[in-house]
Amino acid sequence: MPGRLPHGLSFRFIDRVLEHVPGVKIVALKNVTCGEPQMEGHFPDAPAMPPAFLLEAMTQTAGLLVSSGAPTFLAQVRDVQVHRPVLPGDRLTLEANLLQGFGSLHRCAVKATVDGNITCQAEVVLSVGSEP
């Protein structure tokens, strides 16, 4: 497995890697629960995973795909589309596909699905080994 997530437990949005084709694709799982800190304050009467955290989960997944253990930083986000909210109890499947790599920069297509339905998709550019 490529580099591990450097994030503290409270900011890790991946529970498990389901599939990994090195340099090509990675699929991960996040079980969304109501006990997570971000859920408590994001619409307390109707909790939902904030879209910024959804994008972070997809970016962490892409980071696992492209990192070789070096620090990985988000350099750019393109074409974000949020299709539906992610709610407590959802099993979020996160997928990242490498589109292009050039030196330390890696462009990935990322998406999140629940029960096969796309909840969010985007394109991210990650910088591996140095800040963008």
Does residue 3 fall inside a structural domain?
no
> Which of 7, 20, 42, 83 is the catalytic position?
42
- Residues 114-128: tens digit of each pLDDT: 999 999 999 999 999
- Tell me the average pLDDT of the chain: 90
Tell me the CATH number at 44: 3.10.129.10
- Residues 61-110: tens digit of each pLDDT: 999 999 877 889 999 999 999 999 999 999 999 999 999 999 999 999 99
Spatial contact of 97 and 108, defined as CB atoms under 8 Å apart: yes
Give 72's strand partners. Answer: 128
Query: Does the annotation count 42 as an active-site position?
Result: yes
**How many domains does the chain contain in total?**
1
Give the count of beta carbons closer than 10 Å to the beta carbon of residue 93: 19
Alpha carbon 17 to chain centroid, angstroms: 12
Mean pLDDT of all residues in 40-65: 89
- Distance CA(34)–CA(93), nearest Å, equals 17
Asked if pLDDT for residue 2 goes beyond 60, the answer is: no
Could you tell me the sign of the dihedral formed by the alpha carbons of 18, 94, 49, 84, in that order? negative
Does residue 5 fall inside a structural domain?
no
Q: Which residues span the domain enclosing 17? A: 11-128
Does residue 86 fall inside a structural domain?
yes
Asked if pLDDT for residue 111 goes beyond 50, the answer is: yes
Strand order of the β-sheet with 16-21 is 16-21, 25-31, 91-102, 105-114, 117-128, 72-82
pLDDT band at 130 (very low <50, low <70, confident <90, very high): low
